């Protein structure tokens, strides 16, 4: 018998999320889009991210809505003992508790990991911190730009002719939300086998270190740091954007076979047989010379011209699109990644980049108002 399509593999799992800003709420949203019942706990005044605008939709910032759809919302004043005790009982009846509260808050109010996992042995407790659960910085606060700076990511980003640049998306917050969700899923699987819950620790800083890990490995061997690359790559040549007559085209011949095809598209099939350009090692040694030769040829024709030639030979390439250009792509429409869940509003919100049996997880849900489910759950 064929199993009916379902994008809700976590149906029946109950999650309490005391998330704020981006990382904790994104973990909660992933779990909600996978089918879990996610109850978002907010301070009486609400998650700070509700006010991170404009733009706003129905009184809440779009950034808040984007990461809090498909949840219920209740409020809790941790300083109120009755409300705090009710929250603890609620956590005890759930499968998962996720939070990214400031490091000193949980123990102050008796909702820290060691306390709750002792009291509720089946509980999966996910603590998403700033700088990690150990070390001299374990109670230090942090936001996305600070972590990008401290973990070295800003030093790696930007054109070499200009200043360093912050990565333009919240890669630390979002990836930490993902890592936390992965940890929760692994803990659910282990509990199914052992009956025991887990204390899952993640942090923004650890995610930042992970993103910088390739550069750290290279430095540990060579003692040198590669210069910032712009659109290029510190270990591959050619592997970057080239200016055509009407704008840049990203071209990534990531092996010697594709390099030979790229050279053919450029009208120089002899280049890969020259000793100075034969392998990536030689091309890296003659990098500036080769890039200059390619650039002189690429600028003579349009992106459409070059893309057609490269596509015909199977060389990976693509234009440097703006977000509006991305939204106009037929491929984006075909994947159905974005939805307009708010009637009367053109606002686009994402589903998960995961499909089950052809059905995308999440997308049509809306975000709760502050405390809209108080007394209902």
Q: What is the pLDDT along the chain (377 residues), one digit of tens a residue?
A: 344 446 689 999 999 999 999 999 999 999 999 999 999 999 999 999 999 999 999 999 999 999 999 999 999 999 999 999 999 999 999 999 999 999 999 999 999 999 999 999 999 999 999 999 999 999 999 999 999 999 999 999 998 889 999 999 999 999 999 999 999 999 999 999 999 999 999 999 999 999 999 999 999 999 998 888 888 998 999 999 999 999 999 999 999 999 999 999 999 999 999 999 999 999 999 999 999 999 999 999 999 999 999 999 999 999 999 999 999 999 999 999 999 999 999 999 999 999 999 999 999 999 999 999 998 88
CATH assignment of 14-212+350-360, given 3.30.413.10, 3.30.1490.20, 3.40.50.10540, 3.30.450.20?
Answer: 3.40.50.10540
Distances (CA, A) of 58 to 55, 65, 211: 10, 10, 36
Q: Domain spans of the chain?
A: 14-212+350-360, 240-319
What is the CB neighbour count within 10 angstroms for residue 357? 10
In angstroms, the CA 128 to CA 193 distance is 25
* Catalytic-residue membership of 233: yes
Q: What pLDDT was estimated at residue 229?
A: 86
Q: Give the sheet arrangement for strand 240-244, strand by strand.
A: 240-244, 247-251, 317-319
* 14-212+350-360 matches 240-319 in fold: no
Selected catalytic residue, list 133, 215, 233, 350: 233
pTM over 0.85: yes
Nearest to 12 by CA among 38, 49, 30: 38
**Which CATH code is given to the segment(s) 240-319?**
3.30.1540.10
Cβ neighbourhood burial of 367 (10 Å; 0-12, 13-18, 19+): buried
Q: In the 3-class helix/strand/coil scheme, how is 222-288 assigned residue by residue? A: HCCCCCCCCCCCCCCCCCEEEEECCEEEEECCCCHHHHHHHHHHCCCCCHHHCCCCCCHHHHHHCHH
């Amino acid at each position: 018998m064929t199993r009916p399509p379902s994008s809700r593999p976590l149906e029946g799992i109950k999650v309490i999320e005391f998330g704020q800003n981006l990382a904790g709420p994104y973990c909660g949203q992933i779990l909600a889009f996978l089918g879990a019942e996610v109850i978002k706990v907010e301070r009486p005044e609400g998650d700070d991210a509700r006010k991170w605008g404009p733009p706003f939709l129905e009184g809440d910032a779009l950034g808040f809505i984007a990461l809090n759809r498909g949840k219920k919302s209740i409020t809790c004043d941790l300083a109120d003992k009755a409300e705090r005790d009710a929250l603890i009982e609620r956590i005890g009846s759930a499968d998962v508790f996720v939070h990214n509260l400031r490091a000193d808050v949980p123990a102050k109010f008796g909702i820290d990991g060691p306390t709750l996992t002792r009291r509720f042995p089946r509980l999966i407790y996910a603590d998403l911190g700033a700088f990690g659960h150990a070390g001299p910085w374990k109670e230090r606060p942090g936001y996305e730009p600070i972590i990008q700076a401290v973990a070295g990511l800003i030093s790696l980003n930007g054109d070499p002719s200009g200043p360093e640049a912050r990565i333009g998306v919240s890669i630390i917050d979002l990836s930490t939300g993902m890592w936390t969700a992965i940890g929760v899923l692994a803990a659910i699987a282990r509990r199914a086998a052992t009956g025991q819950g887990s204390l899952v620790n993640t942090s923004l800083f650890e995610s930042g270190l992970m993103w910088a890990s390739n550069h750290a490995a290279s430095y540990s061997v060579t003692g040198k740091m590669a210069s910032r690359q712009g659109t290029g790559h510190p270990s591959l040549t050619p592997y970057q954007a080239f200016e055509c007559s009407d704008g840049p085209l990203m071209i990534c011949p990531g092996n010697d076979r594709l390099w030979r095809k790229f050279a053919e598209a450029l009208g120089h099939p002899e280049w890969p047989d020259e000793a100075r350009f034969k392998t990536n090692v030689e091309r890296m040694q003659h990098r500036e010379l080769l890039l200059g030769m390619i650039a002189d040829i690429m600028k003579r024709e349009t992106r459409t011209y070059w893309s057609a030639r490269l596509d015909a030979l199977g060389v990976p390439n693509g234009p440097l699109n703006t977000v509006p250009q991305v939204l106009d792509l037929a491929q984006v429409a075909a994947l159905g990644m974005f939805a307009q869940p708010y009637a009367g509003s053109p606002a686009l919100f994402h589903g998960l980049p995961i499909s089950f049996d052809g059905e995308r997880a999440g997308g049509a849900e809306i975000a709760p108002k502050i405390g809209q489910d108080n007394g209902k759950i």
